Amino acid sequence: MAKSKQNKKGLWAITKPVNKYITGSMLLAMLQGVLMILGIVLLANIIGIILEGELQLLGLSLNFRQSFWLFTAVIIITFIIRYYSFIFSHLGAFKLETILRKNLTSRLAEVPLGYVITTGTGSLKKVILDDIKSLHIFVADSIPMIGKSAITPIISLIIMFAIDWRIALVAIGVLILGVILMYSATKDDAEHRQKYEQSQAGINKAVIEFVQAMPVVRIFDDGSTSSKRYNAALERYKHYTKTWINLTAIPGKIALIILSPLPTLLAVTGVSILLVLSNQLSLSGFIAAVMISTGLAEVLMPLMWFNKALKKAHASAVRIHETNELPVLAKPKVAKVPSSYDITFKNVSFSYNNNHIQALKNVNFTVSEKTTAALVGPSGAGKSTVARLIPRFWDVTEGAICLGGVDIRDMDTNILMDTVSFVFQEAFLFNDTLAANIRIAKMNAADDEIIKAAKAAQIHDFIMGLPDGYETMAGDRGVNLSGGQKQRITIARAMLRDTPVIVLDEATAFADPENEEEIVKALANLMRDKTVIVIAHKLATIKDVDQIIAFEKGEAKEFGTHDELLALGGTYASLWRNYTLAQNWNVHHKGVQDEKENVYTSEAALSTYC
């Protein structure tokens, strides 16, 4: 049963959509192999005629002219068939690549976004790029080789037996010895291949991390410390590669020498000369045997390498299949549409990767329609987890999240996304124009709508001050813009989408004072007449919200307004006290306040946007 299941997700299951191309290419390659051997026989016949006059070889009785023209025709047809064999295989490879990439991207679009975040770009890049490339190479290049290399040794041995069975046995003996040695060199490579490929994935992750951290590296480090993980990944790769090579080097080299054309040629030539000298073999038979034996070893070698290519392609196919089988977000049989836009968490508990450590524990709260609630708490308290459960980055482990009385798991994903907009602390921009980066929220939006959204987001004047205006390229991940400018572009996206529910996760976290003022104005426009959940560490910005929910260790501990929670003297009061002290810190006074001062008041508090 396990083996059957493994076969279903193996190489040939993955390549099934292009089976007709694979079959066509393989059959043409086999025909090419047969014609190639026929060409060798005809060439031997031509040489024999030149040396001995008209003769018979393998029952063929042809004169020089007949042999020459037949040989020419066979060579031409062989090249034509070889050309179309590769055309078939490459068409199949490109079609397979297209199918697999579309299937993978479609699948990843349906799996919980949390999986994409936690898996990491290095591993996903290996599957989407490297593994698919591996299958492309297998279908494009290995398939014709399989067909040719599979049929040619069989036909060659049949002809050699027809010439003289003793020559055939000698050739078989040399090849068997080489195959045994090659098998001993590769029999235990499954474990080594797995470690080798894992170390490759580690290098991918380390390289991406190192490149993305380059600004920090240049400021704070000479590279020796920050590149430690990268160097460690390289060392692991070097170690596993060296170990694998050392285990297989000696038998592998001996096998390569024996399976090269020269040993087979020497053995067959020696036996053939003895048979010729004893008048048991004709000169043309001698020439044919020697030429075919050379080709026999030459075509058998690719079969040995094919075993390695097959294992690599199979491993890639399994990883692709596993990605294609990732659990997707459950879709409701009958999608429901919320009648209002209040948000309710009912006994919600959640664990990342379903482990025993709970990020949220029995959380209950309600945010009424067109009101604003702020989630506060120390780092790791569960605030951002709450924000990421609303768009179903993950589904809750226990309980339910309801929007307008409807469990979000019972809503169509498109309806949910059309109902809720998100502005996270890390703004991501595509390497496209500013207009395109805003339009992604509504692909059919007119230019006037984009400009209106940009104005509401306080970014229009900045854009118009650029030489190319809205056609300015944002650069890779928005590198051409500041953090505050990128944030206002993402707010413009949310303005353009115009959903009734907004989730803000530290939207002003990375803004400088000037940009923060503009962002606050933009957020005020965005939040008007919406149901809003705000996550903020700058507590002065959420003093006047309708409701504050204080989290601690994954639990919603306190509920109320700013004044009510201060009066409780609990989690929120402690957070406010620390925040106030931090606001009064400067390079001369390290936040030490007179105990008689009211630490709950901050003259430096920012104007609220709620």
pLDDT (tens digit, 9 = 90+) per residue, 326-341? 777 778 888 888 888 8
Predicted confidence (pLDDT) at residue 535 exceeds the cutoff of 70:
yes
pLDDT band of residue 251 (cuts 50, 70, 90) is low
Q: Are the CB atoms for 477 and 215 separated by under 8 Å?
A: no
pLDDT of residue 593: 44
Please state the pTM of the whole predicted model. 0.64
Which helix (H) or strand (E) is 362 found in, with range? strand 360-367
Percent of the chain having pLDDT more than 70? 76
- The structural domains of the chain, ordered by start, are 11-185+254-324 (1.20.1560.10), 343-583 (3.40.50.300)
pLDDT of residue 211: 66
Closest CA relative to residue 33, chosen from 152, 143, 158? 152
pLDDT of residue 597: 41
Predicted confidence (pLDDT) at residue 390 exceeds the cutoff of 50:
yes
* Mean pLDDT value across residues 36-45: 81
Q: Identify the three-state secondary structure at position 421.
A: strand
| Angle made by CA atoms 355, 127, 211, in degrees to the nearest 5 | 85
DSSP assignment of 469-504 equals: GGG-B--GGGTTS-HHHHHHHHHHHHHHH--SEEEE
For 443-472, b/e burial (b = at least 16 CB within 10 A) is eebeeebbbbbbbbbbbbebbeeeeeebeb
Which two structure tokens, joined as six digits, stand for 548?
A: 């504050």
> Which of the two residues, 48 and 95, has the higher pLDDT score?
95
Say if residue 281 is exposed, middle or buried (CB neighbours under 10 Å; 0-12, 13-18, 19+): buried
pLDDT of residue 121: 65
* Mean pLDDT value across residues 420-444: 82
Least-confidence region, from 10-24, 227-241, 366-380:
227-241
Give the strands of the sheet with 360-367, arranged side by side: 360-367, 343-350, 398-403, 406-407
Closest CA relative to residue 421, chosen from 337, 532, 512? 532
Q: Are the CB atoms for 472 and 463 separated by under 8 Å?
A: yes
* Mean pLDDT value across residues 24-40: 87
Predicted confidence (pLDDT) at residue 562 exceeds the cutoff of 80:
yes
Mean pLDDT estimate for the chain: 77
pLDDT of residue 298: 65
Q: Are the CB atoms for 244 and 163 separated by under 8 Å?
A: no
pLDDT of residue 234: 76
Contacts of residue 553, Cβ cutoff 8 Å, sequence gap at least 6? 361, 381, 382
pLDDT band of residue 477 (cuts 50, 70, 90) is confident
* Mean pLDDT value across residues 446-461: 85
DSSP symbol at 141? I
Calculate the alpha carbon distances from 41 to 261, 284, 550 in Å.
Answer: 18, 9, 88
Predicted confidence (pLDDT) at residue 269 exceeds the cutoff of 80:
yes
Greatest distance between any 2 Cα atoms in the chain:
122
> Which of the two residues, 531 and 588, has the higher pLDDT score?
531
Rounded CA gap, 454 and 435, in Å? 9
> Which of the two residues, 61 and 544, has the higher pLDDT score?
544
DSSP symbol at 138? I
Q: What value does the CA radius of gyration of the chain take, rounded to a whole number of Å?
A: 36
pLDDT band of residue 592 (cuts 50, 70, 90) is very low
* Mean pLDDT value across residues 110-118: 73
> Which of the two residues, 121 and 442, has the higher pLDDT score?
442
pLDDT of residue 297: 65
150-188 pLDDT tens trace: 788 888 888 888 888 888 888 888 877 777 776 666 665
pLDDT of residue 5: 45
> Which of the two residues, 469 and 522, has the higher pLDDT score?
469
- Give the chain's count of helices (H) and strands (E): 23, 12
Q: Are the CB atoms for 423 and 507 separated by under 8 Å?
A: yes
Backbone angles phi, psi at 428, to 5 degrees: -110, 125
Q: Are the CB atoms for 382 and 554 separated by under 8 Å?
A: yes
197-223 pLDDT tens trace: 677 777 777 776 666 666 555 555 555
DSSP symbol at 330? P
Rounded CA gap, 144 and 81, in Å? 11
Say if residue 127 is exposed, middle or buried (CB neighbours under 10 Å; 0-12, 13-18, 19+): buried
Q: How many CB atoms lie within 10 A of CB 337?
A: 12
* Mean pLDDT value across residues 239-254: 69
* Mean pLDDT value across residues 285-290: 81
pLDDT band of residue 463 (cuts 50, 70, 90) is confident
pLDDT of residue 300: 63
pLDDT of residue 346: 92
* Mean pLDDT value across residues 319-324: 84
536-549 pLDDT tens trace: 777 777 888 888 88
Predicted confidence (pLDDT) at residue 393 exceeds the cutoff of 50:
yes
Rounded CA gap, 240 and 274, in Å? 49
SS3 of 298-310: HHHHHHHHHHHHH
Rounded CA gap, 447 and 465, in Å? 17
Calculate the alpha carbon distances from 251 to 162, 177, 189, 238, 301 in Å.
Answer: 33, 11, 13, 21, 15
Alpha-carbon torsion (206, 209, 215, 216), positive or negative: negative
394-405 pLDDT tens trace: 888 889 999 888
DSSP assignment of 190-203 equals: HHHHHHHHHHHHHH
pLDDT of residue 595: 39
